Chain A
């Protein structure tokens, strides 16, 4: 008995050390990504001049570039990446399915539809904040519709089906707008916006999205213990004192706030919410509550590096971030499939 207790203590200490190592490693990656994002851009600024212009106002264009263009872009990238990674981990935990992703509940698709309507009607051109505002309204409509369809006691299956229906409807709406658009330039603008990008985002975008992402993120982080219990299935979790209906509501509204706000300011950035929790799961012992903060950090790092790569690879062509994350995400996902097959599952 004494031996069993002793070893169990040692294990828990070893796990704490490993958990700290993972957290600090990811934090280091986010900081590195942030710095790389700051020193990347179309203006020919040297690394030293750029970073010093960030802290000391030179009165010249360097400080404007650093403080008004690159810094908000990096901050927004970190917020959006964290929102996507965290929501993905929460959604996978709730549905107990490693293929779940934040877009599953239809929030991204309806936010995109809202943005597309703002672009098509010209409201976005007349009033700068109309586009993200319309996208947020779209996300709000999606989550209301979802909760109405799935109900407070609806099962996870009903939730998925309702999400798929809402996504399909929103995608059809977006296609309809593109289909009927008389103006090819508007179509191109819409298509490019849908690809997802951090280019030309300002502090206004940060102030709009960050508070909503923060609130959504806190709600999602609070679901950790409930998601842990869900490892045993809904019935056992409920008998352990978890209120499943409330847990589901928290995951859905947290995801809607975080991903709705992220999509509203950057467009649809795919694969981050799917791939990041997948990669990090083995590093946190597959425990859902530990995967949540890890995926927030991992998502931020992935988006920051991907955005820097998008600017660095084709500096003159405005490569869209969403295109790059898909190019990174799909092969990573294929690699995971092959690894699973090798494990004989």
Chain B
């Protein structure tokens, strides 16, 4: 079953293609890592695929009406915004808003989904805390819990591990893996290639807006692609992948 299908998706900014004819498909139960250097077009690709940016070419999600799309995919933007000092529980419950017909309150099923999401992110004890008073990493986990509470077949997350400590990075990736085991898919942009190699079932590598590789981590993270796209060398060590050196001064 296809959860997202992109057909030559192209996003222009000032006449230049920031995302240039990208096609791929995501089926059920996948953790797809979106990798690429800074400015490769990862965020733009995700927003275009969701229909949050004007794009040409096809995206099955962008074609949906707003409410249906919110039932099909949840979006975690990179900017972590919590505008008002609401409780963690209230914030996570916003993930249920696509299911509430005008003016209706949260049902027991909605509350259960919120409680599950809080538990998955280890936030059960934080439910009544003021979300804006938490640390940056804790706020990031609250916002991820909001996305989980939406309980969509597909989760699109833009650098969700940024700002998390190593234990929480691993535990988040394991949450994604366990969701995938139940049929949910995740499209996640990552900068940590080791984390991507270890936890993703598949990697999509983009460079200057174009798709350059799509396949298993071993197929994508080859010495040549690492050199051409990231200007680094790396080494596979059993199932683990390590970036070993920067090949030239990228700065």
Interface residue ranges, A against B (CB under 8 Å):
1, 4-5, 7-9, 11-12, 96, 225, 228-233, 235-236, 238-243, 281, 285-288
Contact = CB atoms under 8 A, between A and B. Distances in A.
Contact of B98 (A5, A11, A241): A241
A157 to B, nearest CB: 15
A235 B143 CA distance: 13
Interface residues of B, number: 43
Contacts of A232: 81-83, 91, 94, 143, 146
A9 to B, nearest CB: 7
B90 interface: yes
B77 A11 contact: no
Given A229-B94, A232-B94, A286-B84, A11 B70 contact: no
A228 B102 CA distance: 13
Interface in B229-245: none
B89 interface: yes
A231 B50 contact: no
A232 B83 CA distance: 7
Interface in B90-127: 90-91, 94-95, 97-98, 100, 102-103, 106, 111-112, 114-115, 118-119, 124, 127
A12 B111 CA distance: 10
Nearest to B76: A236
Given A235-B77, A239-B75, A239-B77, 20 more contacts: A1-B119, A5-B112, A8-B89, A9-B111, A12-B111, A96-B81, A225-B97, A229-B94, A231-B83, A231-B94, A232-B91, A232-B94, A233-B81, A233-B83, A235-B47, A239-B52, A240-B70, A285-B86, A285-B87, A286-B84
A242 B65 CA distance: 11
B174 interface: no
| Most A-side CB within 10 Å, residue of B83, B128, B143 | B83
A180 B194 CA distance: 73
Contacts of A1: 115, 119
B227 interface: no
8 contacts: A4-B124, A96-B84, A228-B97, A229-B97, A235-B75, A240-B150, A241-B98, A286-B86
A286 B90 CA distance: 10
Nearest to A98: B84
Interface string B195-229: 00000000000000000000000000000000000
Contact of B66 (A12, A235, A238): A238
A234 B159 CA distance: 18
B69 interface: yes
Nearest to A343: B133
A288 B103 CA distance: 14
A120 B177 CA distance: 72
A225 B124 CA distance: 25
A9 B82 CA distance: 24
A242 B69 CA distance: 11
Nearest to B102: A225
Contacts of B111: 5, 8-9, 12
Given A4-B115, A232-B82, A287-B84, A241 B97 contact: yes
Contacts, number: 95
Interface of B: 47, 50, 52, 66-67, 69-70, 73-77, 79, 81-87, 89-91, 94-95, 97-98, 100, 102-103, 106, 111-112, 114-115, 118-119, 124, 127-128, 143, 146, 150
B94 A228 contact: yes
Nearest to B100: A225
A241 B98 CA distance: 6
B138 to A, nearest CB: 16
B70 A8 contact: no
Given A9-B111, A232-B82, A236-B75, A241 B69 contact: yes
A242 B98 CA distance: 9
A238 B97 contact: no
A318 B66 CA distance: 54
B84 A231 contact: yes
A287 B90 contact: yes
Contacts of B76: 236
Given A11-B127, A11-B128, A241-B69, A236 B84 contact: no
Contacts of B74: 239
Given A4-B124, A240-B70, A241-B67, A235 B79 contact: yes
A230 B95 CA distance: 12
A250 to B, nearest CB: 13
Contacts of A281: 84
Contact of A239 (B70, B81, B89, B118): B70
Q: Which 3 A/B pairs are nearest by Cβ-Cβ distance? A: A233-B81, A239-B75, A241-B70
A288 B84 CA distance: 8
Nearest to A231: B83
B114 A231 contact: no
Contact of B77 (A8, A225, A233, A287): A233
Contacts of A96: 81, 83-84
Nearest to B103: A225
A197 to B, nearest CB: 34
